[in-house]
Structure 1
């Protein structure tokens, strides 16, 4: 497949690029600073690095034109960045709609999805505390998902809990339209794996997908 990846220098986005290249896909990595991608050692004949202003939908059209799908690892890295995910994703969506590209998979977060059924009390307490502390970040992601629901894209939102730096395992739980019970952690590499796997999974179209170990 011909894929475009936004947030390609981030933890999840970088994993998407590496795993997609390893799987034989042609990848366009959209970045603001190409040196950050080259510093990771990510290379390959099937990799195109596209430098662009992510706030400008017109500048992004060439990055998505003719692609089979778009994946986004965009997200706020701290509370002060809250608001940027929805803003930048709007630019991506507008560029996709202008070019007639429909398939989009984004990373979100577990608290944005519905609570897991039969949650233990400790999970409820911890979940409430985290949601309060990171409320601006999660509000940003909720706005992003609302924008996606109103768009013409065939979107999927992958919602992980706390992220870890671990090798890809493929051994995680997935709940389409829901949240895994007591799902507290998952590796960034496995989030990327889940996002790539969602591309061909029609059951995930226009759905949030909870993932966790």
Structure 2
């Protein structure tokens, strides 16, 4: 499949780009600065996410939004999300969003979110809140094929690629070791698995590593 990764220079974006390429997909990195791209030989579109148009994204089967907003500019998660909704509305291209764990619920009644718990780090509150707004905009949108993927509470860039993970929907997952943990590598596997075998169209799912 033809897959574009927005924010392919970042930790999540680069992990997903590599996983998709290693599995034989035709990948394109969409980045603001191509000179910072670690992956060599990858097709590149050097463009700001806010400037992307429907024609830019039309060649792709899937567009992955792994955009990371700078500190104190967390509202850009909403702006980027809105721009992609508008660009992809009415097209067959699927949008997959790299979300956060903050908007997941910690109770079965789904009344308390991770971001609302006392121990949630204050420095991540703005990011979590703006990503939650992006999720709500997706849920309220029409004529767009989307999936929002939340990691576990501990999202580990150095963690192993085990290929063993479990999925849920809107509640924070805990693995058999009692941890809410997922490595970037396993998260990338889950996303590419979802691309190859869609199970969560127009909804959010979350992932926890089991090993």
TM-score by length of 1: 0.82
Q: 1:162 to 1:7 in 2, by over 3 A?
A: same
Q: CA RMSD in A?
A: 2.4
Please give the per-residue CA displacement for 1:120-140, whole angstroms capped at 9, x wherever unaligned: xxxx8x953216553211110
- Give the whole-Å Cα distance in 1 for the aligned partners of 2:118 and 2:70: 20
Runs of 4+ in 1 over 3 A off after TM superposition: none
* Equivalent position of 1:121 in the other structure: none
* Equivalent position of 2:48 in the other structure: 53
Q: Give the structure with the larger helix fraction.
A: 1
| 8 A contact 1:168–1:190 mirrored in 2 | yes
| 8 A contact 1:2–1:69 mirrored in 2 | yes
Equivalent positions of 1:58-137 (< 5 A) are 58=53, 61-76=54-69, 78=71, 80-97=72-89, 100-117=91-108, 127-130=117-120, 132-137=122-127
Structure 1 residue runs of 5 or longer lacking an equivalent are 119-123
* Equivalent position of 2:40 in the other structure: 43
Structure 2 residue runs of 5 or longer lacking an equivalent are none
| 8 A contact 2:173–2:180 mirrored in 1 | no
| 8 A contact 1:114–1:179 mirrored in 2 | yes
- Give the whole-Å Cα distance in 2 for the aligned partners of 1:114 and 1:206: 18
